[in-house]
């Protein structure tokens, strides 16, 4: 692999890790740009390889959040198990069927989500409010299964969808939602990695240097988010939704 290609991929990984650590959606940067940089490789091989830097970057970002954000560990443990299983199933499903039929639906959902976020100024801004543990578990299982399946099946903006669900259903603020999303996203990434390891789809000569730079971006991004607070995260969140709309809109109208 040429050093120029590796350097470009590492730059992409750094930017993706930085954005992903704040509001998720790093895959919207890392996946399409990496596919364009490595057109000679099978798509499944590139996707499998990118799971390694995504996992490493999320892990380092999470380590920063855990220093100051309170996590509901029992709830996370339940969601992590469900997310791991559903992501594995989603990746398995991807090997036997096409995911293009979901893209028009996601395109519409993202537009509605952006409009809602713009007009509801307090979305994710208020202090997190507690709900009963039983309700948290029920809602957490539903979120982990649905978004975990999505992560294994399609992938881009998984962290963003987790944050939306945690803010709206579990009543977290943006910072707590971001931290929890990172933890659960580790489980979904690991579920997909297990499948790609078994099928031999990971190119380690690409995955390892990208993982280092994705991790560096995630580390810096997480510290940046905690210093700037919820309002800053809201603006980045809206930007990622717009990028998601552009991504899915392009695929819907050009397919």
Query: Which residue from 133, 139, 107 is spatially nearest to 242, judged by alpha carbons?
Result: 107
Query: Which residue from 23, 12, 51 is spatially nearest to 238, judged by alpha carbons?
Result: 23
The pLDDT > 70 percentage for the chain reads 89
Query: Which residue from 116, 199, 153 is spatially nearest to 27, judged by alpha carbons?
Result: 153
pLDDT of residue 120: 67
pLDDT of residue 140: 94
Rounded to an integer, the average pLDDT of 158-187 is 86
Annotate 62-109 with three-state secondary structure: HHHHCCCCCCCHHHHHHHHHHHHHHHHHHHHHHCCCCCHHHHHHHHHH
Query: Which residue from 139, 151, 224 is spatially nearest to 191, judged by alpha carbons?
Result: 151
Q: Which residues contact 138 (CB under 8 A, 6 or more apart)?
A: none
For 186-202, the pLDDT digits (tens) are: 888 888 788 788 877 78
Tokens read off for 47: 């996707």
Residue 68 binned pLDDT confidence (cut-offs 50, 70, 90): confident
Asked if 62 contacts 182 with a C-beta cutoff of 8 angstroms, the reply is: yes
Asked if 234 contacts 117 with a C-beta cutoff of 8 angstroms, the reply is: yes
Q: Poorest-confidence range of 32-41, 128-137, 163-172, 226-235?
A: 226-235
Query: Which residue from 132, 121, 111, 129 is spatially nearest to 166, judged by alpha carbons?
Result: 129
Tokens read off for 194: 């297990």
Give 63: exposed, middle or buried? Use CB within 10 Å, 0-12, 13-18, 19+: middle
Q: CA-CA distance, 178 to 233, in Å (whole number)? A: 9
pLDDT of residue 99: 57
Our CA angle for 161, 162, 165, nearest 5°, is 85
Flag whether pLDDT at 78 surpasses 80: yes
Q: Between 212 and 111, whose confidence is greater?
A: 212
- Model-level pTM greater than 0.95? no
User: CB 208: neighbour CB atoms within 10 A?
Assistant: 14
pLDDT of residue 8: 94
pLDDT of residue 20: 83
Q: Poorest-confidence range of 66-70, 136-140, 166-170, 201-205?
A: 66-70
Sign of the C-alpha dihedral, residues 28, 34, 39, 42? negative
pLDDT of residue 145: 94
Q: Between 5 and 23, whose confidence is greater?
A: 5
Q: CA-CA distance, 252 to 245, in Å (whole number)? A: 10
Flag whether pLDDT at 128 surpasses 60: no
For 132-155, the pLDDT digits (tens) are: 889 999 999 999 999 988 877 776
pLDDT of residue 156: 67
Q: CA-CA distance, 18 to 1, in Å (whole number)? A: 25
């Amino acid at each position: 692999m040429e050093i120029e290609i590796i350097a470009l991929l590492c730059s992409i990984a750094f930017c993706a890790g930085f954005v992903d650590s704040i509001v998720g959606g790093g895959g919207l940067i890392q996946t399409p740009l990496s596919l364009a940089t490595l057109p000679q490789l099978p798509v499944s091989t590139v996707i499998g390889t990118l799971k390694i830097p995504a996992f490493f970057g999320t892990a380092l970002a999470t380590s920063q959040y855990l220093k100051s954000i309170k996590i509901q560990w029992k709830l996370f443990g339940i969601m992590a198990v469900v997310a791991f299983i559903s992501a594995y199933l989603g990746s398995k499903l991807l090997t036997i069927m096409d995911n293009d039929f979901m893209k028009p639906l996601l395109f519409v959902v993202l537009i509605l989500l952006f409009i809602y976020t713009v007009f509801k100024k307090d979305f994710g801004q208020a202090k997190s409010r507690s709900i009963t543990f039983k309700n948290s578990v029920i809602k957490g299982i539903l979120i982990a299964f649905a978004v975990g399946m999505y992560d294994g099946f399609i992938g881009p903006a998984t962290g963003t969808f987790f944050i939306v669900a945690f803010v709206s259903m579990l009543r977290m603020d943006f910072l707590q939602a971001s931290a929890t999303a990172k933890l659960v996203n580790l489980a979904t990434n690991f579920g997909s990695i297990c499948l790609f390891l078994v099928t031999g789809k990971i190119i380690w000569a690409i995955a390892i240097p990208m993982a280092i730079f994705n991790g560096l971006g995630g580390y810096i991004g997480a510290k940046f988010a905690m210093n700037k607070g919820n309002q800053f995260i809201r603006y980045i969140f809206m930007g990622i939704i717009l990028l998601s709309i552009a991504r899915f809109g392009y695929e819907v109208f050009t397919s």
